[in-house]
Structure 1
Amino acid sequence: MKLILQFLKPYRRLCLFNILAMLLDVAGGLLVPRLTADMINIGVESGSLDYMIGKGIAMLAVTVLSGAGALIGSWLCADLSAKIGQDMRNAVYEKSLTFSEHDFEQFGTGSMITRTLNDINIVQQSVVWCIQMVLPVPAVCVMGVGLAFAIDRVMGVLLIAVTVLIIVLAVLVTRKASVIFERLQRLLDRMNVVLRENLTGVRVIRAFNKEKDEEKRMRKTFEDYAETAVSANLLFAGLESTAFFVINICIVAILWIGGDRIGAGFMEIGDITALTEYSIMILFYIIMAQMVIILLPRARVCIGRIREVLEKEPEILDGEDSIRSPMKPAVEAAVFRDVTFRFPDADENALTDLNFICRKGETTAVIGGTGSGKSTIAKLLLRFHDVTEGSIFVGGADVRNIAQNELRSRISYVPQKAWLFSGTIADNLCYGNENASEREMRRILSVAQADFVSSLANGLDAHVAQGGTNYSGGQKQRLCIARALMKKADLYIFDDSFSALDFKTDAALRKALKEEVADAAVLIIAQRINTILNADQILVLDEGRIVGIGRHEELIENCPVYREIARSQMKGGGEVG
């Protein structure tokens, strides 16, 4: 509830207008029975047509005002819900941007999407329900009972008794229902997990002939959910039947006791109509509020999941004294000094005692086996993780003392997995430079050996599907490289970004790249020897340690690990030299 109030706070005026519209709707709904009673008691009895026309016009006016209140209230409520949802989504998204890679992995991509879309949708719907169904209950009860007392004190007491009874029953049923719906939500989450595991792991299931075992597990999960859902539906059915029963009993009590009061001269016939309408309206709102409250446990779970994201303290934060203004250029673009890194909860270091320098005008390459920690170097430079020991310097300053925005503004990065955003090729290139001209885009595409763009029907405006799935692996890599080159940086990092290119394209791209970023430092992380043959220095990683550093020719002579990698990649396993 505290989280909802936090997001409602900026819209206090809108909340007030919602309440006023709701009161107008409720007041109109309660005044119509009073006017009907007067029309019966005075107009019908006296036979005055003018009086009845006057009351009819008054009823019409009240109905119009009540309808206007309901319409305006619905519009304001929808507006408030939409604004809260927008603010929540922005808050979750902005918070996710502060997460380190480990922070993000704790939630998972699928969970973050669910929290941002589905969970917030449920919270929005709950806000609408509460404003339209729950919030009017106190006003309806107080005003309805007050008008009943104005008619007759005994009938007012009767209405209070009925109202208290139905509220007590509603509380008891809600407690029972909350347990059922909380279990239903847990089973729904469990069903999603089991279903996702079976769909994503279908090949493993088939490979181990475990179809029947998984089918049993799925059936058990679905049956548990179905049984609980049946219990929930039975509860709603019982609630509906009980509601109609209580309303009918209340009407009978009003007619019975009211008849006695009319006979005693304390009431008139029209008052019975008004009292019946008041009781039905009060009971209707209480029962509708009860149904909403029963469904709130699901919203409470969603609010808790949203709160987990918003209250998560990021592992990596900018300090108050972090450098936020542009730094002076330095020849040493990046320096690793005694760097050791261990992933959270890991038993062993991913990187140990790394020392090397990336200088402007030079190409530094990193090579090693799978899991040797090559990509982790790039992530440490971008400060997706913080070092466990040692220091990394960019532009002469420790990266932990540089604001993350300022740090990343000095680095251009091509990730290991080539990823393009949906839109057009031009849209993707503009990620590197928002103000880039068409001429500049075409020049950079030529450097990235992405000349195929000119042969596309729409050229730079060619459509890009989500993730770039409508392009081949090599085309995606070249477009990602072009996007990185659009950004002017001190350090360019290419994380296995040439793996899908043929040798000829690879060589042409590296030649053009050397001319394009001659004044910057280049860090190439690669699996293929051919990609890094001409690098100014090559780091050879083995189990997170540098076991060799130097040029290709030096490493062939002095580094057994590098020599073995080179031999395994040369045709026929011949001598490398």
Structure 2
Amino acid sequence: MLVSAGLAVGASIVVPLVMQRVVDGPVRHHDQNGLIWFGLAALALGALEAFMVFLRRWTQSYASLSMEADVRDDLYAHMQKLPLTFHDRWQSGQLLSRAITDIGSLRRFLSFGVIYLIVNVCQYIVVVVLLIRLYPPLGALVALSAVPLFLISRQFAKRFLRVSRQVQDAQGDLATYVEESAHGIRAVKAFGRRHHMFTRFTANADKVYQLAVQRARLDSRFAPLYELIPNLSLAVIIVVGAVAVVQHHMTLGQLVAFATLQMGLVWPVESLGWILASGQEAMTAADRIYDVFDTEPTVVDRPGAIDLRRDQLRGAVRFSDVRFSYPGSDTPVLSGIDLDIAPGETMALVGVTGSGKTTAVSLVPRLYDVTGGRITIDGHDVRDCTLDSLRRNVATAFEEPILFSMSVRENLALGRPDATDDDLAEALRVAQADFVYELPWGLDTRVGEQGLSLSGGQRQRLALARAVVSRPKVLVLDDPLSALDVNTEALVEEALERVLAGTTALLVVHRPSTVALADRVALLEDGRITAVGTHSELLATVPSYRAVLSAEADDRPDLLPEGKGVAAR
């Protein structure tokens, strides 16, 4: 790019020198043959310049777009490595703004701004040297015009940098708001808050508008100065140069060459404002992108991490004095959990809302890392296992189902890409999700963004089927039946009981009926396991356990479980 740009500029600089020879030679002496040869030379230089410009732009577009794609790939890959604590803290719109808008700003500057900056500076220096050689007094005048340009650029860059960062941050906030409004459109319509949400949107959009106008005004205030200085210099050159020609200090050809070279500097000087503005945007964009890149992944493979092989796993899970606190919080969520889950056993985790149940089960597949103690699978600390092998053997179904804007088949096979149609059919049967075959294109039907084209119960059953189809050794279920009706829940529990027979399962319970799936129950209170036993044992001996289940049981007596092989009260 630099070579082709340099050759193009070089050809454009040589053309005025050819014009000088034409005026002082063939034109002055009425030499028609010489005029033809100089004309052909100028034509050749023009063709060379045009070809070099084409070559630079073609190379520039390919290289810059490839670079943009690589940076975006790296940014996305890095975001996938960052822990959930990062994503809990960051707005999705801000990440989207960095991955799309900021990388685009960076690409535009690195592909055009940098090239123009280097070439224009070199062109300015070369032309000024040539002008001084042609006529030193006027050449010195052109050189001195760089001083006010430098002072103007310094002031412009300082102010534009601050405003540019504000604009880009405001655009990220606006993107977040639009995304949240789109995802929550049902709630907005249900509560009749369309006008309220529109008012908030216009407030965010107006902030972006005001900042963008402020940036545009700043640009428009300085841009005329970049045009004024070279044009004033050109006016002085024409007047003083004409006098110099009359006084025989310059030839007419030198004046023509001088004026043409000076006019060639108008664009480099005028473009300086755009280059600086583009550079400031790129600086703030790079700074925002590095906000993400500079965040180090904390949940990573340790040196020498081992692969968990499915055929060698039994599925024994142990919590040993497990403690956990969220980053930046002094309040522990878990304060020393000790729990043993035998291979093939289903353990239910019961506790009041906010007791840490979801956090505890999230530590098994290392969605978070323990801050104290350890969790082992068959004696292997999960932190000593590779993340890929750990998450292949530990499947999770969340209370809030997450589906992607892809086909039902792709959503189900997310954790097991090699799953056959028979595998998917069996998982769908277990999750009572046979409704997918009634969709317009069956398994190939796209479920839409966040699966909003499906009901809450349907999304939850698909998420459960996705966890089942991966055939994990350890299955973590975070109350995956909460959105199901009683009849569907009973069918799912019956099918799950057969699936869980050979799988170690850790089950978060918010509904009493789900306890029926468990061999044993652990009661979590204030970040500690205070009781472990069968449902009947805890119901008979632990008042706090009865209290946790009582509210739901009083409202829904049909949900009282009998447990596995034991009678309910």
Q: Tell me the equivalent position of 1:50.
A: 33
Correspondent of 1:77 among 50, 57, 60: 60
User: Which stretch of the first structure deviates more once superposed, 311-320 or 533-542?
Assistant: 311-320
Task: Decide whether the 8 Å contact of 1:492 with 1:522 is kept in 2.
Answer: yes
Distance 1:486 1:556 in 2: 34
Correspondent of 1:159 among 139, 163, 166: 139
1:320 aligns with 2:303: yes
Give the CA deviation at 1:195.
6.4
Distance 1:273 1:169 in 2: 26
Give the CA deviation at 1:352.
2.1
Task: Decide whether the 8 Å contact of 2:318 with 2:377 is kept in 1.
Answer: yes
Distance 1:73 1:393 in 2: 58
Give the CA deviation at 1:367.
2.0
String of CA shifts for 1:486-516, please: whole Å, max 9, x gaps: 2132101111211111122222222222323
Q: Tell me the equivalent position of 2:239.
A: 256
Q: Tell me the equivalent position of 1:12.
A: none
Correspondent of 1:387 among 366, 370, 375: 370
Alignment CA distance shift 1:295-1:468 (3 Å): same
Task: Decide whether the 8 Å contact of 1:332 with 1:396 is kept in 2.
Answer: no
Give the CA deviation at 1:475.
0.9
Matched residue of 1:413: which SS? Answer: strand
1:461 aligns with 2:444: yes
String of CA shifts for 1:151-194, please: whole Å, max 9, x gaps: x242xx533442342x3222222222233323323543675688
Matched residue of 2:530: which SS? Answer: strand
Task: Decide whether the 8 Å contact of 2:94 with 2:176 is kept in 1.
Answer: no
Alignment CA distance shift 1:177-1:248 (3 Å): closer
Task: Decide whether the 8 Å contact of 1:144 with 1:278 is kept in 2.
Answer: yes
1:401 aligns with 2:380: no
Distance 1:461 1:222 in 2: 42
Alignment CA distance shift 1:352-1:571 (3 Å): same
Matched ranges for 1:186-205 at <5 A: 186-188=165-167, 191=170
Task: Decide whether the 8 Å contact of 1:163 with 1:282 is kept in 2.
Answer: no
Distance 2:246 2:555 in 1: 113
Task: Decide whether the 8 Å contact of 2:334 with 2:527 is kept in 1.
Answer: yes
Letter in 2 for 1:560: P
Task: Decide whether the 8 Å contact of 2:320 with 2:374 is kept in 1.
Answer: yes
Matched ranges for 1:263-278 at <5 A: 263-278=246-261
Alignment CA distance shift 1:235-1:118 (3 Å): closer
Matched residue of 1:463: which SS? Answer: coil
String of CA shifts for 1:108-136, please: whole Å, max 9, x gaps: 33322222222111111221332342121
Give the CA deviation at 1:23.
0.7
Correspondent of 1:416 among 399, 408, 417: 399
Give the CA deviation at 1:331.
3.4
Matched residue of 1:433: which SS? Answer: coil
Distance 2:204 2:154 in 1: 27
Q: Tell me the equivalent position of 2:459.
A: 476
Letter in 2 for 1:171: F
Correspondent of 1:174 among 153, 176, 182: 153
Distance 2:360 2:171 in 1: 36
Distance 1:291 1:258 in 2: 31
User: Which stretch of the first structure deviates more once superposed, 329-338 or 480-489?
Assistant: 329-338
Q: Tell me the equivalent position of 1:3.
A: none
Distance 2:281 2:114 in 1: 17
Matched residue of 1:518: which SS? Answer: helix
Matched ranges for 1:47-126 at <5 A: 47-126=30-109
Matched ranges for 1:13-52 at <5 A: 18-52=1-35
Distance 2:546 2:215 in 1: 68
Letter in 1 for 2:96: I
Correspondent of 2:283 among 296, 300, 311: 300
String of CA shifts for 1:444-465, please: whole Å, max 9, x gaps: 2222211111111211111121
Task: Decide whether the 8 Å contact of 1:99 with 1:314 is kept in 2.
Answer: yes
User: Which stretch of the first structure deviates more once superposed, 260-269 or 168-177?
Assistant: 260-269
Matched residue of 2:312: which SS? Answer: coil
Q: Tell me the equivalent position of 2:419.
A: 436
Correspondent of 1:185 among 140, 164, 170: 164
Distance 1:503 1:321 in 2: 48
Alignment CA distance shift 1:191-1:93 (3 Å): closer
Task: Decide whether the 8 Å contact of 2:399 with 2:460 is kept in 1.
Answer: no
Give the CA deviation at 1:381.
0.7
User: Which stretch of the first structure deviates more once superposed, 320-329 or 335-344?
Assistant: 320-329
Q: Tell me the equivalent position of 2:469.
A: 486
Give the CA deviation at 1:573.
7.2
Give the CA deviation at 1:78.
2.0
String of CA shifts for 1:366-419, please: whole Å, max 9, x gaps: 122211111101211111222222211013211122222222221111123211
Give the CA deviation at 1:96.
1.8
Task: Decide whether the 8 Å contact of 2:83 with 2:299 is kept in 1.
Answer: yes
Distance 2:259 2:488 in 1: 85
Correspondent of 1:507 among 470, 490, 493: 490
Letter in 1 for 2:164: Q
Give the CA deviation at 1:146.
4.0
Question: How many aligned residue pairs are there?
Answer: 550
String of CA shifts for 1:525-550, please: whole Å, max 9, x gaps: 12111122231011222222223322
Distance 1:464 1:221 in 2: 31
Alignment CA distance shift 1:124-1:194 (3 Å): closer
1:546 aligns with 2:529: yes
1:528 aligns with 2:511: yes
Alignment CA distance shift 1:325-1:220 (3 Å): closer
TM-score by length of 1: 0.86
Alignment CA distance shift 1:435-1:330 (3 Å): closer
Letter in 2 for 1:427: E
Task: Decide whether the 8 Å contact of 1:184 with 1:225 is kept in 2.
Answer: no
Alignment CA distance shift 1:243-1:342 (3 Å): closer
Letter in 2 for 1:180: R
Distance 2:238 2:469 in 1: 82
Distance 1:116 1:196 in 2: 12
Identical positions, percent: 26
TM-score by length of 2: 0.87
Alignment CA distance shift 1:254-1:22 (3 Å): same
Alignment CA distance shift 1:268-1:189 (3 Å): closer
Alignment CA distance shift 1:105-1:163 (3 Å): farther
Letter in 1 for 2:139: L
Distance 1:346 1:463 in 2: 41
Letter in 2 for 1:163: A
Q: Tell me the equivalent position of 1:352.
A: 335
Q: Tell me the equivalent position of 1:5.
A: none
Distance 1:432 1:246 in 2: 64
Matched residue of 1:319: which SS? Answer: coil
Task: Decide whether the 8 Å contact of 2:93 with 2:173 is kept in 1.
Answer: no
User: Which stretch of the first structure deviates more once superposed, 100-109 or 397-406?
Assistant: 100-109
Matched residue of 1:340: which SS? Answer: strand
Task: Decide whether the 8 Å contact of 2:161 with 2:280 is kept in 1.
Answer: yes
Letter in 2 for 1:287: E
Give the CA deviation at 1:330.
4.2
- CA-based RMSD of the aligned residues comes to 3.3
Give the CA deviation at 1:229.
5.8
Distance 2:225 2:36 in 1: 39
Task: Decide whether the 8 Å contact of 1:170 with 1:287 is kept in 2.
Answer: no
Matched residue of 2:376: which SS? Answer: strand
Structure 1, unmatched stretches of 5+, are: 1-17
Distance 1:337 1:224 in 2: 51
